[in-house]
Structure 1
Amino acid sequence: MAARDAWLAVALAAVAAALGALQGLGNADLALSDLLRPQAPQASHDIVIVAIDEPSLERMGRWPWPRLRHAELLEQLMPLAPRAIGFDVLLTEASSPQEDAVLADVMRRSARVVLPVSSQPDGSLLAPLALYANAARALGRVDVVVDDDGLVRSVPFGGKPDHLAVAMAAIGGSGNPGSGAGNGTGLKPWQQSEPTLLDFHEPGQGFLQLSYADVVAGRFDAARLRNAYVLVGMTATGLGDQHATPALPSRGLRPGVDVLATALEAQLTGHAVRRAPAFWNAVANALVVLLACALLVRLPADRAWVVLIGTLVVFGGLVALLRSAAHVQVLPLAGALMLVVAYLAWSTRWLRKTLDYVFTEIGRLRADGAASDARDVPEIGDLAGGLALLQRQSDAMRNAKTVLEQTLDRLPDCTFVVDAERKVLLLNAAARAMFAQVYEPVGADVAQLWSQRLRRADASGDHPDIRGLGELLVATPATQEVQDAAGSRLLLRCLPRATPQGQPIGWIATLVDVRASPSRVGLGEEALGHLSHDMRAPQASILSLLELHRAGALQATQAELLDRIGRLAETTLGYADDFIHLARAESTAYDNSPQLLLDVAVEVADELWARARAAGVSITVDGDEAWCRGDRTLLHRAMQNLIDNAIKFAPQGTQIECAVRQAGDRVEFSVRDHGPGLGANPARLFEPFAQGAQGTKGSPGTSARTSGAGLGLALVRTVAQRHGGGAEAANATGGGARVAIWLPAVAAPADG
């Protein structure tokens, strides 16, 4: 733990200790203690309340009753040998001398009666008449402690006389009446001792209550009162004392006699709960804060909430356990509040560290000229500005990653981006198609990944030494010839990646087809040359038409001028379109899926129907329902080029015949026209920029619709070969030309 963290932890613990020792959180601390108070079990069956309730008042008349009623009650109880009888009825005023004498005599003969004594605001004691005090076995206090929030949670045990519950327990247990017996006149003011907390019962789990009138009349189960502790008190509304307690009964207030019964139960069971002394309350709150702070500095920042919740739960559980097992009540709110403060302090510090790091890194990006936002970096203290800038930079990084992935996917060669630990970070579609069947490439060791599909070109056997070769290449960037599983020769290249400061951060590795690479370069250079030459003519024509129009030397309407310019522009776009499609057919990864070739042929013929009709020719399509695997978009383009080429050269009034046929493991699509044919070397038509007899300028049958860059049939052959097939062209018997592509046939899919 750093010094700054240690001082913060000590400061929070000191505050928690001070608040805990002084109980400075008052009612809130008491309310939290109530929530953590364990639920009391079912009330003891040894304690019975004889209630002066509403039914008793209805049957025995208005209160106060004659003292003879109490004598009758004691006469009913004495044969049952109760352990102690506690009266929660103040007998401070004299009645008739005869009735007082009778009641005192019954009390004396019972030798089990405890009478109440109540404290007055001036500290004096309100005691029963001396006649009754001398006749009772003991006197006991019935005071309660009312907390600042108005709830009764405890009673004061100790002093002279002691609490009524203590006196009853003493009489019922050892026969020692305790203090105050026969002391009706010499009572001294009582000094309150440490209060004892009570665990009140929830509604439905309280003490057995018998109606006073029923007991006097003998209508009760005697077994329930035999050897029991009996408390006599008022429960009727408007009579006697009523108290608000943490566990309230259904009526909202608890009768004083029920509080006395709860205090007696605590005395009998030994579950008298005391509040922890100030010192130990301070220690408990301080220790839990120190523990939480120690965990906060050792766990990741995103686990701080786990520390907070976990510590609060554990602390609350320990507080409840101490109350139920050790009968000690710790006030936990000071520690709980400091836990929240510690969580907020640590979270704020981590956030500040994160923002400081972000600001530093953004400043470096700005210094390197690589920042994506031209706005100034906000001040370190500008939290809102820092978060906004973080959001902008995060968006920029995500966009850059997306662009990078899309760029890599357009590369025809297998490409890997590797980190300094030789783990694959990114790879393009070509690399994924080659290696994804092994296991998930991202995150894999690149040398181990290569060993599953490659072997050294100068070694025999299955992939010998390729892993060692991979480790060597990423350690010392170089180029090495390897072979794939099909025996194709590839160049494995590794180039280092580094930060602007020159710090190595990994490599970029590529697998290049040795055979295809030179031809691609040559084709690209040749293509650009031809494309530039062929596009120059229509563009020059457009400029000439515009110049003549400005000079007034063009004898054509504006509509005719626009029509000519439009046709020339379409020719230019056609050249560019052919070049782009050929480049895509040669370099991009194919999305192969089962295709019904006859459906594709019908679709293409439908699209070209209007053009064929304008040229005065018709198109027919028939054949077998044969399946192949292929990229539907590229197959569509290749078949479109074949039919479109036939439309260009077919004489008006003739028919273009398209057919799909399956022969063994091949499926073929052919197009036959009745034009001038293909000349002496039909196979040359599939070379880029080649022109056969059909395309020779000035030859019979040639018109404006026969012009082209010579890339259409090159695309047809490329698509066929990349699907594992080929392309064929021949002069048809009886005149015309027949051009076809063939592809490997596959079985119809189950849902096809």
Structure 2
Amino acid sequence: MNRDWLHIKTTPWTLALILLSCTLLLELSSLPRHLDYWLYDQTITTFPGEPADDVAIVAIDELSLDRLGRWPWPRSNHAALIRSLTEAGAETIVFDILFPEPSPDDADLANAMEAHGNVILPVYLAPSESRQLLSEQLPARALANTAARIGHAHVELDSDGVARGLYLYNGLGQQLWPSLSLAAFAPEATPPNYEQAPAFMNIRDEYRAVPLAGGAGTVATYSYTRVLEQTTPAEAFRDKTVFVGATAAGFGDVLPTPFSGLSRPMSGVEFHASTFSALAQNQLVEPAPRWLSSVITLCVILGLALSLPRMRPSHTLFTCLLSTAVLFVAFVLALQIGRIWVPVIDAALIALLALPISSGFRLSQTNRFLNRQLDNLAQSPYVTMPDHGTYHPRLLLEHIQELFEPEGWILCDGAHCLTSRFLSPQDVPSDLTPRQWDHRLNDSWLKLEQGDKTFVLGLQLSNDLQGQAIQRYLNHLRLEIPDSIQQARSPKENISARIQKVRFATERLNQMQQFIRRSFEHMPDGIIVTDELGVIRFANRHIEHWFREPMPSLNGLPLPRLLEGYDPRESPRWNEIIAETLTLQQSRTIDLQIHGKDFLIHIAPFSLPDNEQSGLIANISDISELREQQRQHREAVDFISHDVRSPLVSQLALIEQLKRDPANIAPQQLEQLGRLARRSYNLAEEFVQLARAEQLTETRFYECELLAIAENARDSVIEQAVEKGIDLQLQGTEDLWLKGNPELLERALINLLTNAVQYSPSGSEVDIQVYQAGHQAVVTISDEGSGIDPEELPHLFDRYRRQRRTELSGVQGTGLGLSFVKTVVEKHFGTIAVASIPDQGSTFTLKLPILDPLP
């Protein structure tokens, strides 16, 4: 049957009309503008220039704020800075600091400015109050009259929020101010004349893009306070233009730039200094007029419309890519050599769109069934897991090496050895079964047959539990060649075979849906999916576990009711949050507490692509551990700010006292200084030991004997016990082997023994017992000391926790020793318990798993 639609031929006018329509559609979106910004950013960051040698920055940084106090500073500080820069030989000083209000120190600052003779101050255009008209925020009169010039401090942000340039002139009505950088570089610059402009109109003229030489910190920067202290080399400012402004975080203006984005924004003073550098090197970029982009786009449309229909399909791709490449090269050359920003993205997008559009006209509309099935297939992604039997043995070995890092390996092709380490062809067994792993001690062997070749792959793994686990995992690798691969090798290719492939792909899509559902179940976060009314339609197992609600009761339950039942709140209520998310189609992230644990719930709207149905997806993350880490961080800061500083302050005070009267140094003063130094050392040592214990992993475990560890701990504290008249008794004769870190275990026992000796009276006894109980090694440490109050026992192992009784008795501690002991024991998968009677003594019991316990 003859069908005309099977023989559609592309005409130049048809293609030109479609490309022109695409151009108009692109102009209605912001995509070309953002891509134009992206192309500009990539070009200047790929080919950055060098900063000028005659520019420097004096930064109001964190160090300056810390030493000189809170902002604002007395203007006498700025006067002192100008004098320091004058002595250093600075040619021009540019302040990116507003001085709009009069100050008692204005006279001092004005005198310093007049003495230098070339100080530039900023003007800022902003409403003086809310709902007021735009006005010029000039420096105070005394300062404005003394300034050599005044320049505006405004930097232009593009539509994507990134600073790429500024207007050289800006002002209200007929009074236009040059930018700070232009005022510093060209004092004779004359602003354009706008005689008819109203006085309230904000006028900006001569926009220029600034090709920055780099991100924040590119221009030589010196601290404000160090310049005042004259610790900066004088040659750093000689014959240079010095910009003064704020760079401290959270202080002053911050500008995302092509080099930094939002990750490391640039301060305003650095941007103005970079602009001056570009001015000095004649590198400012002038945007081309918008009509030039339209002309280039029309030329590209005309050229492609006339050439593509006459080309072979294989040449179409080359022509479109070549057109795009030529446009990009022209853009780079114009930007780097001509210093002109020519927008070519519209034309480049059209050149790329011309390829699928022209090819689409050439496609035949036969095989409708296949196209329909393939469209359905394209709408639903799927994941396929390859069969490793299809891998080349060399690639299979490479992947195994990357994953498991075996100690040795070998790969042989028959009698030829392709690669080896620690294994030789003589080690290869002769009775291997194809495509089945054969494990012999810590060696694993695999025989693969591909075509007419036979490969043997051998691995030498570690002789431990990890090596055994790897061998068990290798047994589950799929090494067969599936039937689908065999069929794919068939030389026959017809419509029926293609239909069969589509049906096979559809079955894989069904498997993909099951895979997605199972993936939701195994995600680390809780997932809830609701309909348009916020009613739960799906929840994974985490939700069932965290809320302690059975799955049947969750399905059909309104999400606000579920959240309100476990974390009620007054304002805003959960129903308001869910309703606003649905109606405003905006995502929300809120803290959530369930059964005393901290969670973070992220609620996002969604809509199905094939209909108008919508709903919510709530992702719930368990952040309890993160909040606990934040709490520990705060406690650590408090500990350092108080406990660590206190003895250091006392030492400094005592040293100052000794310095005032060095001839009369009493022995008790030196003894007191030694006690304070030892206390500082002990505080730092216990803090470091606790950090080491918290970072302990099984990679630092090895076989060790518990009785020997206990003997070493006893020997470490026996001298302290003898001085106090306390008898240390160690009972235990059986060697108990563990897998752990003996250094930290010994330190934990030393902490317990030191506490026992410290809190026990003279003439008492401390008993240490080491024995085996079932599959556990047990250590008990008993003393006859003051004991622990019952109300203190629940908090005994908390960080920075001190017993009230011991503090009142004058025995000072850090509150870290027992926390360290508990951390070490838990890292070794053990437990610790304490039994205590006030005024009678305490017993600490440690239980640790022994190595290879008997059944």
Using the size of structure 2 for normalisation, the TM-score is 0.39
Q: Which has the higher contact order (CA 8 A, sep 6+)?
A: 1
Q: TM-score, normalised by structure 1?
A: 0.44
Q: Tell which structure's C-alpha radius of gyration is larger.
A: 1
